A = this chain, B = another copy of it.
Amino acid sequence: MSVTTINILLFGIGNVGSTLLKQIEESRDFIAKQNGIVFNFPIIANSTVVLFQNADQQQAWETDFKRSSIPYQFQEILDFLKNTQLENLIAVDVTASDVMLGRYLPLVQHGCHLVAANKKPNTVDLNFYSLLRSELVVQRKQFLYETNVGAGLPIIQTLRNLYQAGERITRIQGVFSGSLSYMFNRFSVEPFPFSQILADAERNGYTEPDSRDDLSGTDVARKLLILARELQEPLELDDISIEPIFGETLTRLLHETDYRSNKQALNRYLEERKQQLDPDEVLRFVGVLDLEKRRFEVKLTAVKRLSALGQLRGTDNLIEIYTESYGRNPLVVQGAGAGKEVTARGVLSDLLQIAQLVKQREVVRISEVSG
C-alpha cells in the first residue's frame, strides 16, 4: 500500500496530548500497514513554547521538547507553514484554552484540517460557529471533534448520521460528565461527605484543574449545546438552563471567597438533598435536550436506583437518544466519558478519518493525472 504522510500541528501536551503521542508511537507500524498512513509532528506546542521538528524527527519528543522548544508568537507557526509548504496538515487542539479560538480560522486558511478535544470553539457564539464552518467549506477542510462529548464514545457521529439520514430526534438525555458521574455515583451510596469524594476525584485527575468548572455544570451545558448545534438548533450557551448543584447562594459564595477552604460548606446542602431521596432513589447530574418541549437543562436529579442511570459506575457517561424510529426505547451509548486513554484514542480516531479522506483525494489526483 502507498504511504501518505499526514503532518500534525499539536497544540497541547497535557494528559491527552502526551497520551496521543504515546498511542501513535505505539501504533505507528500498525497504522502504516492498516491504513497506509504515517503521522508526523512538525509542530508540538503548549501555551508558551513550541518545538519545530524535521521530517526525520526522533521519536523521543519529550527529550527534544525539553531541550529544543522555544517561546513563540502564533504568527511564527503560520510563517513556518508558508515557508515549509508542508501538505496534508491537521491542526489538533487538545487544550481547554480560549486562546485557541483566534487560531482556528488562520489555521484553516493556511491549509489545515482541524481536530479538537477543546469544546470552546464549538460553544462560543453562533457567529464564530457559522464563520468557521463557512471557511471550512471554502477551503474544503474537515473539522472533527468526537471527543467533545463523551470522550471516545461514539455520540456525535451517531447523532449526525441519524440526523443527516432524516431521522427525527426528539430528545437526548443522560449523564455527560465523567467527573460528576464519579462523584454522584459514589456520594449516592457511600457514607462519606461530598467534600471527601470531591477530594478523591481531584486527586485521581478526574476533574478539571479547578473543580468548580465541573461543579458549575457549565461543562455539561457546553456538551448539550454542541449536540443541539449538530441538529442545527441555533442555540447559545445561555439557552441551556443550569440548576446550580449547591443552590445559588452557596455557589456564588464559593466563587467569591476561598473555594479551597469552603469545600466543607458543600456538604450540608448536598446531605440535605440526599436525605430527601426515597430509599430506591439516587442522585445523578443529568443533562436534557428535549427538542419537542424545547426544554434544555442541566440539573441534579433523583433517579431510580435500578434504572440505567441509577446503576452507573465509575466515570461512566450514559447518553440516551430518543428518535422516531427507535420508539419508546432509546438508542443508548454508555462507557467511560473521561480519561486520557479513551480521549486520546478518540482524537486518534478523528485523525485517522481525516487522514483517510486526504489519502482518497490524493489517490483520485494521481489516478486522474495518470489515467
Contacts and interface: CB of A to CB of B under 8 A. Distances in A.
Interface in A311-342: 311, 313-314, 316, 324-336, 339, 341-342
State the oligomeric state as a number of copies: 2
B336 A333 contact: no
Contacts of A357: 357, 360
Contacts of A30: 166
Contacts of A311: 306, 308
A157 interface: yes
Interface stretch (A3-11, A120-128, A345-353): A345-353
A35 interface: yes
A164 B334 contact: no
B329 A313 contact: yes
Contact of A341 (B325, B330, B341, B361): B325
A368 interface: yes
Q: Which of A23, A324, A345 has the most CB of B within 10 A?
A: A345
Nearest to A26: B166
Interface string A59-92: 0000000000000000000000000000000000
A34 interface: yes
Interface of A: 23, 26-27, 30-31, 34-35, 140, 152-154, 157-158, 161-162, 164-167, 306, 308, 311, 313-314, 316, 324-336, 339, 341-342, 345, 348-349, 352-353, 357, 360-361, 363-365, 367-368
